[in-house]
Amino acid sequence: MQISQIPIINYHKISPSFDIGITTRHPRQFENDLEILKSYKFNTITFRDITNDDSEISNPIIITFDDAYETIKTYALPIMQSFGYKGVIYPVTNFIGRYNDWDVQIGKFKFKHLDWKELKDIQEIGFEIGSHTQSHELLTQMSYERQFRELSQSKSALEDALGKEVCSVSYPFGRFNQETIQCAEKAGYKYGLASLYFKHIEENNRVYTLKRFNIYRFDTGNQFKMKIGIKNSQYIYYRDWLMQKGGLGTALLQSLRKRMNPNGIIKINP
């Protein structure tokens, strides 16, 4: 099967606690999602399975987790393991074991990222670790040199600490340009994960512009089925495309914050 035909879905936090953002999925919803995958006989694979194994895996799907929050270990992992599923986790290397200070903080809400040991333990049980860059800043606003540093140094930091090849990179906010593709290839990645919609697609660069559906808090079971390709996904594609345009607001606030107050955090009243 062609890699571009394999459905890839993405989660952020899996948690029962309240969060202002839309990317947190409740553990019960997450379990329902996996029940749906099971009922349609999906097999979870990671990028390494594609690289190392030519044999055909029936009904493959890739489950990814951007930002590598601690909630993966607390809530997602036990559920994944009860289904015998595995996935790919994308830490931001400058924030491993720290709080999400890279993000725009709304009120007092802060979330912790998995630390190095936890990432290694999760890798040991069959999950794969990819890169989500060093800083989580928009790659498209960086020079070629800085983009290359973000991609190559995050890759080598993960490989040095975890002892395994890092074969995929998830671009922050799903955004990239032609230089990002060149940098990803030059840094030695085999796959790059983008958002749903982008202008710079070229046939031979497909592996560096793979599309993913984010799974949001308010996605229903039916909408989840659209995202894994069981139901016609035209509607959900355009809805999520609009949502991701909104998500860019975070990226813009982030760069504004940096310009105004390089060491601080902008507090926004909810």
Tokens of 110: 């802060």
* Closer of 57 and 196 to Zn ion (Cβ): 196
Residue 137 touching Zn ion (CB under 5 A): no
Q: Which of 31, 33, 66, 103 binds Zn ion (CB under 5 A)?
A: 66
Distances 261 to 109, 265, 266 between C-alpha atoms, Å: 19, 7, 8
* Closer of 13 and 190 to Zn ion (Cβ): 13
* Interface segment toward Zn ion; rule CB under 5 A; list 67-75, 99-107, 152-160, 161-169: 67-75
* Interface segment toward Zn ion; rule CB under 5 A; list 65-73, 146-154, 198-206, 209-217: 65-73
**Contact by Cβ (8 Å): 157, 124:** no
* Interface segment toward Zn ion; rule CB under 5 A; list 1-9, 24-32, 62-70, 257-265: 62-70
* Interface segment toward Zn ion; rule CB under 5 A; list 19-27, 63-71, 142-150, 251-259: 63-71
* Interface segment toward Zn ion; rule CB under 5 A; list 37-45, 60-68, 120-128, 149-157: 60-68
Letter string b/e over residues 80-115, b meaning 16 or more CB atoms within 10 A of that residue's CB: beeeebbbbbbbbbbbbeeebebbbbbeeeebebbb
Residue 103 touching Zn ion (CB under 5 A): no
Distance of CA 34 to the CA centre of its chain: 18
Work out how close the CB of 132 gets to Zn ion at its nearest, in angstroms, rounded to a whole number.
6
Work out how close the CB of 67 gets to Zn ion at its nearest, in angstroms, rounded to a whole number.
4
Question: Which residue's C-beta sits nearest to Zn ion?
Answer: 66
Residue 67 touching Zn ion (CB under 5 A): yes
Beta bridge partners of 69: 113
Instruction: Of 51, 53, 129, give the one whose Cα is nearest residue 86.
Output: 129
* Closer of 36 and 106 to Zn ion (Cβ): 106
Phi, psi (degrees; rounded to nearest 5) at 104: -75, 120
* Closer of 59 and 105 to Zn ion (Cβ): 105
- Binding region for Zn ion (CB under 5 A): 66-67
